[in-house]
Structures are given as C-alpha cells and as structure tokens.
Structure 1
C-alpha cells in the first residue's frame, strides 16, 4: 500500500479564518470598531461539517439567488493525535497535505464565521492527500483559482500569518486533534464569485488541484 493510501483524512475539518496578511490588513480597521473593538489574539476557528465533504469532479449545488465564492486553501492532515503539543514538535504530528476548495457564501463577520455560509452540502472539496515528505518549502507555495479556464485569483503561503505548526500548537492548547483531522490554513484576499455553469479549479503548487462544476438548485 502506498504512503498516500495510508493517510487518513476522515476526521473533523477545522478552518482558520484571517490567516493571510493580505486579508487581515484589509479588515484591520473594522476590528477596532464596534462590536469588536480589538484585533483577534488567537486563531479564529470555524468548522466544516461532514455534509460539506466533496471531491474533485463532482458538482457543487448553489441555491438560487445566493452568491457562492471559491476558497483556495491548503489542508493540513493530522497523522498522530495531539494534545498540548509545542510548535517545535508539531511537525511530527502532520501526515500530509490536501488541496481544498473551501466554498462559502459571503461572510458578514470574520470573527464569527456563520454555519449557513460555511456548512452547506458539498462546500468542502478535498483532494487526495500528498505525503509531507513530498512537499518542499511549504511557506512559499502558490494558490490559484481558475474559473472556466481563466485565472481569477492568486495567493501565496508566504502571506501566512501563522504556520501549520503554530496553528497546531495554539489549537491543541485547549482541544485535542486526532488522526485524520484536517486543518484548513485560510484563504487569501479576493474570493471569487461563482455562477451556475462555471467550472472552478483550485490549483496549488506541489499538491495538485480540484475541479468542480457549479449547478443551481432545481436544475
């Protein structure tokens, strides 16, 4: 059995909001206004529930009159259960990485990502895992969004605020992470709106891609 097939990706899916400097800087002024009056000090977590799981090649269904947005992100797959693990030891708990399209409705609050926006059916497209030893320079990978073959968004992990090791350390302070869990490391600034009939492709250096067609409910 190959290493790829040994990697379990069937666990919980946790997302990190506001983990790209380009996005954070755009929203920084809002954080110091009501109702927050402060910038977030810890990672802002959200979840992608089991019904959101999807794979490349399968359709994504959007409701009529709702705006659907693509969300390119790298998923970090936990290979060994963790609790209160230090940043220096976190790498040993990572099995590999996946390409993810973290689809979402537009977010009204990045401090409190909404279940409705994040957790609709098929809103988390996950690629086959790539073993961590196959990935070099994780902190300098390009993420691209193509819609109908046209490049619509591009970002880089060089813009990460927190590395996967930092995220694992901070989450595991108060919550265990188990084998098969996936941590979504955030999306760059500039989410792309998708329409019914669009073919959307998320492509990430060294990790591969996922491609899906957007369908409108009832069609």
Structure 2
C-alpha cells in the first residue's frame, strides 16, 4: 500500500544524457547532475479511472516505468542490501505535460489528477529489473525501452538516495523515464506491458463540462 511519498527520477536514461550536454552547461548549474534528480508526484495523481484532460491540454507525454514500493525504512543502505527494502513492484505510467526543459517543472506539468496510473503490484523479482517495457497506443506498439539504459539501476538509485534521505515504508519510487517517451492524445487508449508483470491500461479522455 502506498502510504507515503511518491518520488520520481529524471535524467536517469543513459541514451538521453549525451543529448543534453549543452543544456547542462547553461546557468544556473553549468555542469551535469552528479546526484539523482528527484521530483514529486502528489497523491492526487493516483486517482483511479480514465485520465481526464482539460480544454487547455490535448496531448500528454506517457512515460512507462517501474514503481518500487518501499517495504521497510531505508537509511544509508548499501547497494548490496538496497533491494531488501523493496516490498513490491508494479508498472507505472508517469503522465506529464510535454516539456523539453527539466529546470524547475511546475506542479501543473506533472501532478494533475490521475497522472500516475499504476499496475497491480507483485513481489520483487530481479528479472523485472532488466525487463523491456513496451507502450502501445490504441493497440499499436509505439515505444520500447530497456531498463538496462538506466544510469543508476534500482539498487544503486536506492543506495544513492538513502545516503542523504530516508525512504520510508509506504513510499513509492519510480526508477526512471525514457528520454524518448511517446505522447498520447485525447481518445487514445494506452497500454504498458513488461514480461511477468500485470499489464496496465488507461484511457485518455476529454474532461466533461460541469
């Protein structure tokens, strides 16, 4: 059960990072990130049902990833012991407004109602952490990415994060997004699959007027 915070990670795709070298060198940072780059998904993102888009938004980015449910508190854990703190794993669809910049994204871009559909969780199995994740839109495959592309794999990510913050039991950690994630429009049905995990399907719909 997700009873705590929901953390996501950007810039954890090894194929994306080289394309952003010039942007990394711009103010205010003037260097690539050295630590995991976190963002928050608020709990309203877990609202069940279709994803409703208001009139100001017709297209969304649909980034398929894995969610790790933290089962026991993790503080300053080693990479070797990191996964022992994971109580479950599920497919996740991290939805956001399309935006090329990662500098201070607004809550509106990532945290609208229903912007984090989740699949049914299963106990952790290492085979899931090297799976290919496929996204289909209206039944047609549009994107596949391998978790082998992650700069920090799940164990390394947990170890690095808990070196300066505690991941508490009930937190959910989204382990990374593909830099080339596809986009979906109103009326589309998005399905996410990965071998061994229950598939996840969500509809993108226009919000009805009150």
TM-score normalized by the length of structure 1: 0.88
- 2:194 pairs with one of 159, 182, 204: 204
Count of matched residue pairs:
208
In structure 1, C-alpha distance between the alignment counterparts of 2:29 and 2:206, rounded to whole Å: 36
**Which SS does the other structure have where 2:15 is aligned?**
helix
Post-superposition offset of 1:216: 1.1
Q: Does 1:97 align with 2:89?
A: yes
Gaps of 5+ in 2: none
Aligned partners of 1:9 and 1:32: how far apart in 2?
A: 37
State the secondary structure of the residue aligned to 2:96: coil
Establish whether residue 23 from structure 1 lines up as the match of residue 16 from structure 2.
Answer: yes
**Which of the residues 138, 144, 164 maps onto 2:154?**
164
Report if aligned partners of 2:14, 2:149 keep a CA contact under 8 Å in 1.
yes
Shift of 1:164: 1.3
For 1:145 and 1:208, the matched residues in 2 are separated by 13
Does the CA-based 8 Å contact 2:8-2:38 persist in structure 1? yes
Distance in 2 (CA, whole Å) between partners of 1:114 and 1:202 is 26
Write the distance in 2 (CA, Å) between the matches of 1:54 and 1:207: 21
1:69 aligns with 2:57: no
Give the Å deviation of 1:205. Answer: 2.1
Relative to 1, partners in 2 of residues 1:205 and 1:114: Cα closer, same or farther, differing over 3 Å? farther
The residue correspondences of 1:63-142 to structure 2 (distance < 5 A) are: 63-66=54-57, 67-132=59-124, 135-142=125-132
By how many angstroms is 1:127 displaced? 1.3
TM-score (norm. length: structure 2)? 0.92
Counterpart of 1:174 in structure 2 is 164
- CA deviation string 1:1-45 (max 9, x = no partner): xxxxxxx33321100111111222222221123343110000000
SS at match of 1:29: helix
User: SS in structure 1 opposite 2:180?
Assistant: coil
Return the offset for 1:110: 1.9
Structure 1 unmatched runs, 5+: 1-7
Coordinate RMSD, CA, aligned: 1.6
The residue that corresponds to 2:30 in the other structure is: 37
- Cα separation, 2, equivalents of 1:85 and 1:101: 27
Output the CA distance in 1 between the equivalents of 2:199 and 2:83.
Answer: 24
Partners of 1:107 and 1:114 within 8 A in 2 = no
Whether 2:12 is the aligned partner of 1:11: answer: no
Shift, 1:208, TM fit: 2.3
